[in-house]
Amino acid sequence: MTDPITDMFNRIKNAQAVFKDSTEMPYSEVKMQIAEILKESGFIEDCKKKGVKTQKTIKVDFKYDKHQAAFSGYKRISKPGQRIYISHQEVRPVKNGYGVAIISTPKGLMSDKQARRAKVGGELMVEVW
């Protein structure tokens, strides 16, 4: 697999398209941090780490509003073949504040709002709305 983060978002989008309650994906620390940011931003209901040692997975529970998923789309900005970096002045709201950008900073993964508040830039990984 070339891009595990894109795989994570594809799993979430595909599972929500058929109104599943949850989905599981292979565990990594970066994916867990992304899931935590999505949970804080209100795009998913909950995320939990399951399993032990090499069999770890992440279980993501979804959130629906009247048969419409809270997570409707994403755009992968920084890809394995082309990394995109921005300064804290270039951090902009996604979809007029209705979305969230996930930025990998020297202080860890942050949402766009947290990065603007902390005045740090970094790799613009993905935009979610």
Residue ranges and CATH numbers for the domains of the chain are: 4-62 (3.30.1370.30), 74-128 (3.30.1490.10)
pTM of the model: 0.95
Q: In the numeric block, which tokens belong to residue 37?
A: 């940011």
Measuring CA to CA, how many Å separate 72 from each of 14, 25, 36, 69, 114?
Answer: 11, 19, 17, 6, 22
Query: pLDDT tens digits, residue range 13-67?
Result: 999 999 999 999 999 999 999 999 999 999 999 999 999 988 999 999 999 988 8
